[in-house]
A and B are shown apart, each in its own frame.
Chain A
Amino acid sequence: MRRVRRLVPLQRLRELSLVLILIIVIVIFGNQIDNYYTPRTFNRISSTVALITLVAVGQTLVLLTRNVDLSVGSMVGFTAYYLGRHLSKTEDMSPMVLAAMAMGIGGAMGLINGLLVAYGRIPAIVVTLGTMAIYRGALVRYSDSKSVATRELPPWIKDLPQETLYKFGEYELRALPGIALGAVIIFFFILLYSSFGRRLYAIGSSPEAAHLAGIHAPRMVTLAFTLCGALSGLGGMVYLARFGTITVEAGRGLELQVVAAAVVGGVSITGGSGTVLGAMLGAILIGTLEQSLIRMQINEFWKDAVMGLCIIVAVSVDRILINQLTPWWSRTELQRMPEEPHAEV
């Protein structure tokens, strides 16, 4: 047991338990729904989850610093519309340039959020509540309340969701989940191996200690918001590819699903702990529940209620179990310090 505790950090344990829950959920649905274990189910779930995962990765960066970004839905909507409008006017445009453009637009909006939070010293919830409305308003102004229709778009973007990156048997890894998975992998490594990533954890974990250690928090926070914006921008491109039709309402309410996914995935809203892997698992869990409940015809309308229940249960269990477990999990790792700290001298 001690070996296990040594080799498996607490964070991994959290993720493993999410995987376990996911498997249980899938098995339950597999028993309830005919033809559940098919590539079709897999594809449907994976393309739903792609968007949420992508944005949840960005949200995780922000949450780690003890902030929150409620404007992601509006950023996704704005970028999706802007790209769509742009594509409808421009004949040929390479996907890479489009992606860069998406991240640039999103990043700029995220930068504004970050500057207002870090240097304007306004609570993140106030800033992003405001910019959520502002970016949505900008979308309406820019679009003049018109929509982008699927037929206006070049074929390649419409085909993007069907694009297969990798095939294993009948199961395909399609482009959109591929983008999300790429973002997860990149940011998994950034958070784990870059000093930028570690400093994000440090700031959220203990602002006072970070200050003493000479970490410049405002810069890190701004960067986190900017990256969150850039990922939301990329999310906008995914949104465009997936739905084709973009109205001024695009992406509305996404912020809550994204925060929910991150929180279910074990990202702490009070900063300092959580991983993008967890956020992805949270998104997958929610997406699987959602899509599977839709397929169980009778229970279609139970979706949201189950989702709310799922979030509160996940957070409560996490709080109780992990908080109880943490001291035990790490205390036993102390060696050669057998005496109680307060043993009499």
Chain B
Amino acid sequence: MQRSKLWARLKSWEALLFIILCVVIFVNLRLSSHYLDLNNLANIFHLSIEKSLMVLIMAFVIINGEIDLSVASIMALGATVLAERYEAGWSIAAGLALALLVGLGCGLLNGLFVAYMGIPSLIVTLAGQIGYRGAARIILEDRSVGDFPKWFTSLGQDGFIGPFPITSFLFLALFILGLVVLQYSVFGRYVYAIGNNRAAAEYAGINAKQVKVTLFMLSGLIAALAGACYAARLGNVRANAAEGFELDVITIVLLGGVSIFGGTGTMLGVGLSLLVVLNLRNGMSLSNVDGNTQTSVVGSLLILSVLIPNWMQRLQRLLSHLFAKNPKLFNRGGAAEPKSPVSVHQ
């Protein structure tokens, strides 16, 4: 019993990610002597803080069986609103409040269309992605707005404890909160149940629509918050901020063992996957590998992460068939239809 439990834990996705992480770190150590510098370690998180924040909520959304392509645009919109309002003479706090409100509103819009109109989230948030960025363009046009007060940019840039800025700790706090909510709260339970089997969840008296709208609103809120972090980190904002971030965010979540069909995955896995990707990118940056190649390595990892378990399963089946001397061995291939992720949840 104990042994099988241990074995199960070793076989788990998290364990595999942990091993990959160790390999990545080991290789990084060999490749660069600067890797262990405290400043470099801080940079690993600091430079990707916005993505890291959005990964947290994206995990919830995908586990629930939906997807949100609009996060990067909401993030840009949030940053834009904050910057534009500050420029117009508002305080940072008031601007931030409005930005968060706007993020919530964008999420609400997404959620309503998905939950109550029944339009696949892929399409709704695709429209959102284009539309919300459009809103940012309307506000800022092609200007770059900055000149934030020193205290604000130092929040995003200067070390709070050691070289780690306060946003890193914000992420850490939200990560723990996300982990606790997903794994231990009633809401997290509902998120899993709906993602696994929406019908069964609704038969058990859960209001799936409400949960979905809430998730999209939270997604918008966190994205706007990430926008504020972005503004603080870079000190100026353009409407085209964070273009293409959503794909990185989704890739990290999927690599973390979250199924695109929903229902499975843990915060721990997503956290490990985030570490793997950030360290991998950092190591490659230290070896002067360009960003696009980095992304393609992550992309390969993503495909392999689904392909290999699939093949292992088939191999297992094949072997068990061979041993059972089942005559139907060769009649198995190619029967299943690939389904688009969006269709499965309807």
Contact = CB atoms under 8 A, between A and B. Distances in A.
Tell me if chains A and B make direct contact, with any CB pair below 8 A: yes
A117 to B, nearest CB: 5
B263 to A, nearest CB: 13
A315 B123 contact: yes
Q: Please report whether the interface of chain B is mostly helix, strand, loop or mixed according to DSSP.
A: helix
Interface in B140-189: 141-142
A134 B299 contact: yes
B128 interface: yes
B254 interface: yes
A56 interface: no
A248 B290 CA distance: 11
Contacts of A312: 113, 119, 124, 127-128, 131
Contacts of A203: 337
A306 B134 contact: yes
Interface stretch (A147-155, A172-180, A256-264): A256-264
Given A122-B306, A308-B127, A271 B338 contact: no
Q: Please report whether the interface of chain A is mostly helix, strand, loop or mixed according to DSSP.
A: helix
A181 interface: no
Given A130-B303, A133-B299, A136-B295, A66 B339 contact: yes
Given A308-B134, A312-B113, A140 B292 contact: yes
Nearest to A63: B340
Interface residues of B, number: 60
Interface string A112-151: 0000111111111111011111111111110001000000
A134 B247 CA distance: 13
A30 to B, nearest CB: 23
A322 interface: no
A311 interface: yes
B15 to A, nearest CB: 21
A102 interface: no
Interface string A51-66: 0000000000000011
Interface stretch (A13-21, A35-43, A93-101, A210-218): A210-218
Contacts of B260: 123, 125-126
Is the interface on chain A under 10, 10 to 19, 20 to 34, or 35 or more residues? 35 or more
B340 A304 contact: no
A273 interface: no
A221 B340 CA distance: 11
Interface string B125-142: 011111111110110011
B298 interface: yes
B293 A269 contact: no
Contact of A129 (B127, B250, B307): B250
Contact of B118 (A140, A259, A319): A319
A278 to B, nearest CB: 15
A131 B307 CA distance: 13
Interface string B326-345: 00000000111111111100
Contacts of B306: 120, 122-123, 126
B307 A136 contact: no
Interface in B246-263: 247, 250-251, 254, 260-261
B268 interface: no
A125 B296 contact: no
B340 A309 contact: no
A270 interface: yes
Contacts of B261: 123
Contacts of A189: none
B310 to A, nearest CB: 5
A281 B281 CA distance: 41
A93 B290 CA distance: 33
B307 A120 contact: yes
A256 B126 contact: yes
A125 B341 contact: yes
A212 B58 CA distance: 37
B129 A308 contact: yes
A207 interface: yes
B297 A123 contact: no
B303 A122 contact: yes
B337 A217 contact: yes
25 contacts: A66-B338, A66-B339, A66-B343, A67-B340, A68-B122, A120-B310, A122-B307, A122-B310, A123-B339, A124-B338, A129-B302, A134-B296, A137-B295, A207-B339, A256-B130, A300-B141, A301-B137, A304-B137, A305-B135, A307-B134, A308-B133, A312-B113, A312-B127, A312-B128, A315-B123
The 6 closest A-B pairs by CB, nearest first: A308-B131, A137-B296, A304-B134, A305-B134, A133-B299, A311-B127
Interface of A: 65-68, 70, 116-127, 129-141, 145, 203, 207, 210-211, 216-219, 221, 248, 252-253, 256, 259-260, 263, 269-271, 300-309, 311-312, 315-316, 319
